[in-house]
């Protein structure tokens, strides 16, 4: 069947005729703007409407209804001036504030910076840095305006890799680090706050700390004056900055080997505000991702304050502490340290209270390879606690950790077999897991059942 083409007058396809009319209208509007010094705003609006309509017409499928296109395009509202990016001339989708205070659409100002410009396009002001701060207020106002006029505004797109580090950024950071060496507390606080914000908002700036040998030492200069101990806000900003820069992989070794950094984190972990202690734990967790750092961090005494925070902190702080303890306990020699510092007692207390079960069972499974940990778990009633979790918990991972710990306990302390046997005769906990658990859980459960069979046989023969 032949395809029917919708046409207008003159034998042209309707879309082509529509485009021709729009071009003539645009030509008249542009001519009025160019030739008349006293042209009206209505004329410029009309020119913009024609351009928008032409763009839509170009993008529309060929079989679209031309009348619908025109009625839509020519009635498009003109956005307020403050919603339009000065660089693109278009409605902003992701408004951000430049160091000059001017607002631009993110992709266009990023391209401006990538092209090597170091000034604000509008004010021509030299930029002190190239951090782009989201303008949430303008974004919200644009969204409301779009909703009112039935326009769909695409969501903002963020790309951290597009951060630009300029010489101005480096100079600005260096000036802030120099301010931290000041003897004046207000200057130290101001600099610490700004470095904290910059290292959070501009991830690529974190790498600069690795390029300068003494940058981390300069950051922590206020420690030398003793001001940190009496100014909790300064301490919190410095700790959080250490956390921010530690996220960058190349900085992990530098921070851990700095003679000031780890002692400062541990001191803050002991005596800081709750947020400071939580961020100190998070920094130690981040640093402990590097195997060589696991040894260093434990040797300088981090485990005890981490365990204390786990014992007495709020949920988020406890989670940071647990994550750090888990990482450190991967190293065999640190397991003994953790047990000696009271980790088993605290972990069992939290597990009984059903707090952070996932994280704490994982730590307990790690520590169960240490004989002292097995002894303490037995004394603290771990067998009944772990069996109850297997019965009530739906997490395969938690059941797997529980049965792995029980398996180790059985092989290291035969007295626990009786307790497991008594539960098994009533609840069948191990047998059930041997049937329905993960492959690892099944292996461990069957291993325990084999030992139970031998235990029962021995009991009956004696």
Angle at 64 between CA 60 and CA 68, to 5 degrees: 100
**90-94, 155-159, 296-300, 445-449: least confidently modelled range:** 155-159
**pLDDT per position as a tens digit, 153-198:** 766 655 544 456 777 788 889 999 999 988 889 999 999 999 999 9
**pLDDT per position as a tens digit, 328-351:** 999 999 999 999 999 999 999 999
Residue-level pLDDT at 59:
65
427 token code pair: 């609840």
Residue-level pLDDT at 239:
97
Rounded to an integer, what distance in angstroms lies between the CA atom of residue 296 and that of residue 281? 15
Residue-level pLDDT at 43:
61
Hey, is 168 helix, strand or coil?
helix
Q: pLDDT > 70: what percent of the chain?
A: 86
The residue with greater pLDDT, 70 or 34, is 34
Nearest-CA neighbor of 243 among 224, 226, 268?
268
> Any idea which residue has 């005596």 for tokens?
271
The mean pLDDT of 8-20, rounded to a whole number, is: 58
Go through 319-335 and write b for each residue having 16 or more CB atoms within 10 A of its CB, e for each that does not: bbbbbbbbbbbebeebb
422 token code pair: 């008594």
Summary count for the chain: helices (H), strands (E): 27, 3
User: For residues 45 and 78, is the Cβ–Cβ distance under 8 A?
Assistant: yes
Rounded to an integer, what distance in angstroms lies between the CA atom of residue 305 and that of residue 167? 40
Go through 11-22 and write b for each residue having 16 or more CB atoms within 10 A of its CB, e for each that does not: eeebbbbbbeeb
The CATH class, in words, for 81-149 is alpha beta
The mean pLDDT of 350-375, rounded to a whole number, is: 94
Does position 118 have pLDDT exceeding 90, yes or no?
no
Does position 3 have pLDDT exceeding 50, yes or no?
no
**pLDDT per position as a tens digit, 253-262:** 999 999 999 9
Does position 89 have pLDDT exceeding 90, yes or no?
no
pTM: 0.69
Per-position DSSP letters for 361-430, written without gaps between them? HHHHHHHTTSHHHHHHHHHTTHHHHHHHHHHH---HHHHHHHHHHHHHHHHH-TTHHHHHHHHHHHH-HH
Go through 145-162 and write b for each residue having 16 or more CB atoms within 10 A of its CB, e for each that does not: bbeeeeeeeeeeeeeeee
Task: Report, in this order, helix, strand and coil percent for the chain, each rounded to 5.
Answer: 70, 5, 25
Mean pLDDT of the chain: 84
């Amino acid at each position: 069947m032949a395809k029917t083409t919708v046409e207008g007058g003159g034998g042209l396809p309707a879309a082509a005729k529509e485009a021709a009319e729009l071009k003539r209208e645009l030509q008249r509007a542009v001519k009025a703007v160019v030739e008349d010094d006293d042209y009206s705003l209505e004329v410029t609006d009309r020119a913009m409407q024609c351009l928008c309509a032409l763009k839509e017409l170009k993008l529309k499928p060929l079989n679209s209804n031309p009348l619908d296109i025109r009625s839509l395009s020519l009635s498009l509202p003109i956005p307020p001036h403050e919603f339009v990016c000065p660089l693109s001339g278009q409605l902003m989708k992701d408004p951000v504030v430049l160091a000059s205070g001017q607002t631009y659409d993110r992709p266009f100002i990023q391209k401006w910076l990538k092209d090597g410009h170091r000034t604000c396009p509008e004010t021509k002001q030299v930029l002190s840095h190239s951090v782009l701060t989201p303008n949430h207020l303008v974004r919200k106002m644009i969204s409301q305006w779009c909703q009112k006029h039935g326009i769909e505004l695409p969501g903002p797109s963020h790309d951290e890799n597009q951060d630009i580090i300029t010489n101005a950024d480096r100079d600005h950071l260096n000036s802030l680090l120099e301010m931290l060496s000041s003897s004046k507390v207000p200057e130290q606080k101001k600099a610490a706050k700004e470095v904290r914000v910059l290292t959070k908002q501009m991830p690529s700036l974190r790498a600069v700390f690795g390029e300068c040998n003494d940058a981390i030492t300069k950051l922590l200069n206020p420690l030398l004056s003793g001001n940190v101990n009496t100014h909790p806000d300064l301490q919190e900003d410095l700790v959080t900055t250490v956390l921010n820069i530690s996220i960058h992989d190349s900085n992990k070794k530098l921070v851990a080997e700095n003679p000031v950094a780890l002692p400062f984190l541990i001191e803050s972990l002991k005596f800081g505000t709750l947020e400071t202690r939580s961020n100190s734990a998070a920094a130690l967790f981040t640093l402990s991702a590097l195997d060589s750092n696991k040894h260093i961090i434990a040797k300088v005494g981090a485990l005890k304050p981490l365990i204390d925070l786990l014992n007495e902190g709020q949920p988020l702080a406890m989670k940071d502490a647990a994550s750090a303890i888990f990482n450190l306990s991967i190293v065999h020699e640190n397991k003994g340290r953790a047990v000696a510092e009271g980790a088993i007692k605290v972990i069992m207390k939290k597990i009984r209270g059903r707090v952070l079960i996932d994280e704490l069972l994982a730590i307990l499974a790690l520590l169960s390879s240490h004989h002292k940990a097995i002894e303490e778990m037995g004394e603290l009633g771990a067998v009944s606690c772990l069996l109850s979790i297997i019965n009530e918990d739906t997490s395969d991972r938690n059941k797997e950790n529980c049965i792995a710990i029980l398996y180790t306990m059985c092989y290291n302390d035969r007295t626990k077999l009786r307790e497991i046997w008594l539960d098994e005769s009533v609840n069948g906990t191990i047998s059930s897991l041997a049937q329905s658990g993960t492959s690892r859980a099944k292996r461990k459960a069957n291993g325990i059942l084999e030992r139970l069979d031998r235990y029962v046989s021995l009991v009956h023969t004696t």
